[in-house]
Structure 1
């Protein structure tokens, strides 16, 4: 018998449970936090840019070669592409749920490499990028400029802010752990805009193609070599590296580009046929914050990363970069998905804690002895904490479904320890000593414990075989409960009987109600420590590293090191309360237990009366079984009727604090016309009570 091994070796049983607790505790600090399990298919994005090309040219010269090669890549579900008139091309390749994103990126990258020789030279020179990222935006940052009181205009225009975001923010945020991609919304990079005059070109017998050719020839970065480089003539004392004017950066430099020289020696400069200005490379899409020009930065999560930790890292990095902003430039986080996730997960965690407290109180009321209370409570903690280790191995996250699974598992896993405990006490009341009673009890209930665990698991585990989105959604829920039940069953057959022998070895066999003690003196120390942690954390927590980041909607830093540091700080705060509570408990434990004993006697009398009444009701139901069966069938029919009438859905409607509106104008509508419509919509939104910001991307 398995239990006999651990009863005879209690140290082995304790070490076994401690190992489970350590593995689970370490894994809990490493688990990613999310609202729901990862159910969206992984996406790999391919981007390319062809300057000056329209959508049709892009589709023929860039999209076609790439898509012909990428199509049919292993585990691909579908792909969607977009060719834009600004020369940008994007291809999103969606893979099956559960696909390794790293391998998917490599497969797509290999296919793109095969297609690159077929792409235009300028596209290959700029580069074709392949990135993996989540489907949805994690958060969006918007740069905004204050108004100059002297001129009444913003200090900085959209072009400056877009360039600042590209240079100062994009790379800094991209390097953060968990960030999959950073996208500048309405990006307007600095570019030299050459406005050619057709009449002047014609008068000088020039074409646009010839101008482009000259620009490419004279606006290049070249290595000019060295003077005095070996092999050199004897007596060469110096060696210099030549520096030449490379890529041009000023409009004046472009003005002086020589286009041609006629037979009379007359030189035609670029300024003779064009107007050259420094402006935005593309103004097809704009970014506006609260009806003002801005620059938006969209951050995408890396698949499998911790959304909360990543968002906290981005906010910390922005606070670090803010002092480097030029005067008058500020930022705002206008879209953030993490506060809702944080609050929803926090509420479930509170529910989990409340469930543990309620279960502890119920066990104490019924068992009325702290020794009997410890066994089920330890069993619950080992089962729940040990589940985190399996969740980490299986790639799960701490989300609403897994936490709800743990909440439901509390009421299930506590039964195993209580069944063992009650059976041990029953044999002790018959006169057996603690060891013999435990041996006898485990011989009787080992089989039922295994059977109960298998039956309950057989109800839940089949849901893991469901395919598609629903199966992926509920798989973590079912596995979490099943794993906790399995650990509970193992714990009930190993540690619970071993500890029962240790706890009850001094209890006299037979009727031993007088031996029961509701609370130990050190229990007051435990309560005192919890009280000081609750009271002192808001005051001393920040100085001890227990910052919750409530001012910025952030949580404490994650990871194993942060978890251990937080545990140490919590113990420091708990120490004074634990000492004071322990001293108080030494003197107060007897009167408190006497008062609880009086309450328990009243409770037992009421419970015995309720048991007798229940027995009478059961007897009446057995005598009139036909009526009971009729009512039972009627309830089943009503249940089926109600089930058919209740509306169905996948996820309940939720208020996440943001509203997305899509405005579609007729084809060929100009940007000016689009701005008139979006400006009116923004005005209505900002005048609506409760609206903090509006972020608009007209184009």
Structure 2
């Protein structure tokens, strides 16, 4: 029999187990950590801007042409768009789970390129961005001025120039973005009364700025073909794009005509270097701040990514100008880390309890060692399968490993019990007893593994989000059970042939008392079963009552997708009337901030006006 091959070669059996253990250790070291498996399907976000347009105009002239082009893209599930009166439109494109996010982004980008000729020219000039969208935010940090030295324009611009790009380069960070539009622009403030007196329209001003704020290739002096004797060539340069408010104010809107003077921008308004958009503003604990959201890359280690972000921010902080600081207001990795730590503690507690129970019933340190060795090999080796399948270390996989602790020792216990039984009944030495035992139970061990795998593995084929969520839980248990079966057929009998010794004499002390007590409990259980057999109608009635109770409780108890957990933060959405101004919403937000900040348990309050999570 093939098990005899491993019994006669204990070194080979040990090497197999060591290789499984080492492979699992390496896989465990590089495994990504997250709270739950990646549930949300891949998404691509399309963002465009149409300054001055209403939501209805944006929806019909920008969103509609783009939606018509992206409809039918490969692996598309659905898409939706949100147009706002601030001139912004966001189209979220959702794809089938399991599709490649990079390929999805390229496909959408190609479709958007086809739609650009169909949208207003100003939208194309502003730029249409296409990027992968993360399912959830990993971290939120706020950059602020503790002494209110800097205004929101300065903080937004500093964050956009010196912080955002650095955070995007952090390994594991998929995206970092400011809640709002941090870009700085040259704003032209016009005086309608002066324009009316001079008969100048807004379009004339826009055309003048566009025509006089360009870069041109002037040419060269001395370029070929040249007369003989020319020994040098000079590149002619001229002022290109304007950069200062004074330069924009000097733009000629209308040239001098008969009886009229030159009209410049400064004659009908003024230029100011300021924020491109004021529709979104943020505060942190009542102070003006720039709020940055950081999104985790799919498959990345959330804990390591959060640590890397904090380390990079500490490096950037040393370069901050005086009077500027930052604070992390939300870090979801902390809850993930605490949850995983608690699960790990539970894991080790379960290991200790399993060791105690096994030793209590086997009553031999030598015999206890064999099933206990199956625990680390089976559990750690499971990480190899998790790595190959792309699983992460999350709440569900860890719960699966905890449940598997009690299952992986069963096969080894069966081996040890049968070896000891053959030694006691037939007086065989350990080697012969191990071979005889494996001849008797090898088929049963394989059946045990197949039965357990058949119980959990079908969960992996469930569809939808529920199947995605519990797939890793079930497959993790199945992998550990398969590895424990391999250990029971290779390592456990080989160790039993070497380690186990025959028992001589009766049990003494605690074990004698335990066996006597357990024997009485067994006798009582057997007697109870006999009475139930004799009174089988009552037993069936009790069984029916239990089933009915289960059905009633199943209907009464509330249900949820995942258990509700206190993650240390919550979001409050403040809705204002459709016609409410930003000042009104800001004042409403200040009231909400004060109410929340008055609570002793509240540490930080971050408020974003004009943006919804």
For Structure 1 versus Structure 2, the TM-score category normalised by the shorter chain is over 0.9
Q: 1:538-590 deviations in whole A, cap 9, x for unaligned?
A: xxxxxxxxxxxxxxxxxxxxxxxxxxxxxxxxxxxxxxxxxxxxxxxxxxxxx
* Partner Cα separation in structure 2 for residue 650 and residue 433 of structure 1: 55
Establish whether residue 643 from structure 1 lines up as the match of residue 554 from structure 2.
Answer: yes
* Partner Cα separation in structure 1 for residue 235 and residue 414 of structure 2: 87
* Partner Cα separation in structure 2 for residue 236 and residue 138 of structure 1: 64
Map of 2:511 onto structure 1 = 600
Unaligned 5+ runs, structure 1: 148-153, 517-596
Structure 2 CA distance for partners of 1:225 and 1:490, relative to 1, 3 Å: same
* Partner Cα separation in structure 2 for residue 328 and residue 467 of structure 1: 53
Give the C-alpha shift of residue 691 in structure 1. 1.0
Establish whether residue 611 from structure 1 lines up as the match of residue 522 from structure 2.
Answer: yes
Identify which range, 282-291 or 638-647, moves more after superposition. 638-647
Identify which range, 303-312 or 488-497, moves more after superposition. 303-312
Identify which range, 253-262 or 327-336, moves more after superposition. 253-262
Paired residues, number? 608
Give the C-alpha shift of residue 603 in structure 1. 3.0
* Partner Cα separation in structure 1 for residue 373 and residue 54 of structure 2: 68
Establish whether residue 653 from structure 1 lines up as the match of residue 564 from structure 2.
Answer: yes
Give the C-alpha shift of residue 393 in structure 1. 1.3
Secondary structure at the counterpart of residue 97 of structure 2: coil
Give the C-alpha shift of residue 221 in structure 1. 2.7
Establish whether residue 107 from structure 1 lines up as the match of residue 112 from structure 2.
Answer: no
* Partner Cα separation in structure 1 for residue 262 and residue 559 of structure 2: 78
Secondary structure at the counterpart of residue 324 of structure 1: coil
Give the C-alpha shift of residue 384 in structure 1. 0.9
* Partner Cα separation in structure 1 for residue 63 and residue 363 of structure 2: 74
* Partner Cα separation in structure 1 for residue 423 and residue 321 of structure 2: 79
Q: 1:285-322 deviations in whole A, cap 9, x for unaligned?
A: 11111222111111122223222222221111111111
2:411 aligns with one of 369, 391, 416: 416
* Partner Cα separation in structure 1 for residue 581 and residue 536 of structure 2: 79
Contact kept, 8 Å, 2:415 with 2:493, in 1: the verdict is yes
Q: 1:464-489 deviations in whole A, cap 9, x for unaligned?
A: 23221211111111111111111111
Structure 2 CA distance for partners of 1:641 and 1:61, relative to 1, 3 Å: closer
Give the C-alpha shift of residue 366 in structure 1. 2.1
2:495 aligns with one of 475, 499, 504: 499
Map of 1:440 onto structure 2 = 436
Identify which range, 226-235 or 132-141, moves more after superposition. 226-235
Structure 2 CA distance for partners of 1:615 and 1:404, relative to 1, 3 Å: same
TM, length-normalised to structure 1: 0.83
Give the C-alpha shift of residue 180 in structure 1. 1.8
Map of 1:353 onto structure 2 = 348
Identify which range, 115-124 or 63-72, moves more after superposition. 115-124
Map of 2:146 onto structure 1 = 146
What do you get for the CA RMSD once the two structures are aligned?
2.2
2:266 aligns with one of 268, 271, 280: 271
Map of 2:166 onto structure 1 = 172
Map of 1:372 onto structure 2 = 367
* Partner Cα separation in structure 1 for residue 527 and residue 352 of structure 2: 33
1:693 aligns with one of 592, 604, 610: 604
* Partner Cα separation in structure 1 for residue 248 and residue 113 of structure 2: 35
Map of 1:536 onto structure 2 = none
Map of 1:62 onto structure 2 = 62
Give the C-alpha shift of residue 9 in structure 1. 2.3
Map of 1:216 onto structure 2 = 210
Give the C-alpha shift of residue 447 in structure 1. 1.3
What are the equivalent positions in structure 2 for 1:502-581 lying under 5 Å apart?
A: 502-504=498-500, 507=501, 511-512=503-504
Contact kept, 8 Å, 2:25 with 2:381, in 1: the verdict is yes
* Partner Cα separation in structure 2 for residue 307 and residue 338 of structure 1: 6
Map of 1:382 onto structure 2 = 377
Contact kept, 8 Å, 1:195 with 1:275, in 2: the verdict is yes
Contact kept, 8 Å, 1:42 with 1:303, in 2: the verdict is no
Map of 2:304 onto structure 1 = 309
Identify which range, 195-204 or 17-26, moves more after superposition. 195-204
Map of 2:397 onto structure 1 = 402
Structure 2 CA distance for partners of 1:223 and 1:445, relative to 1, 3 Å: same
Give the C-alpha shift of residue 184 in structure 1. 0.8
Secondary structure at the counterpart of residue 74 of structure 1: coil
Contact kept, 8 Å, 1:45 with 1:132, in 2: the verdict is yes
Q: 1:130-179 deviations in whole A, cap 9, x for unaligned?
A: 211322211111111122xxxxxx10001111111111111001111222
Q: 1:609-642 deviations in whole A, cap 9, x for unaligned?
A: 4334444444444444444343333333333333
* Partner Cα separation in structure 1 for residue 572 and residue 391 of structure 2: 33
1:666 aligns with one of 567, 577, 581: 577
Unaligned 5+ runs, structure 2: none
Map of 1:581 onto structure 2 = none
